Amino acid sequence: MDAYQAVLEFFEKAEEPVRTGQVVEATGLDKKEVEKAMNKLKKEEKIVSPKRCYWELKR
């Protein structure tokens, strides 16, 4: 499974907005890989930020 897919699955299971550090801890991926995957998800408008530094799936 690539980093993008791992991060997307994490967001699908998350019940509340999360910080980047929480994604890194939960997936065990390198922070740079997580940030790259999250940037791609942001560009695709799959995740949004309800408040500063927190992210969740767009509903």
The CATH number of the domain holding residue 19 is 1.10.10.10
Q: What domain range is 22 assigned to?
A: 3-57
Q: What pLDDT, in 10s, does the model give residues 1-55?
A: 799 999 999 999 999 999 999 999 999 999 999 999 999 999 999 999 999 999 9
Q: Give the total number of structural domains in the chain.
A: 1
How many CA atoms does the CB half-sphere of 27 hold within 13 Å?
Answer: 30
Please report the pLDDT score of residue 59 as a whole number: 83
Please report the pLDDT score of residue 1 as a whole number: 73
Handedness of CA 36, 42, 47, 53 (dihedral sign): positive
Please report the pLDDT score of residue 53 as a whole number: 95
Please report the pLDDT score of residue 54 as a whole number: 97
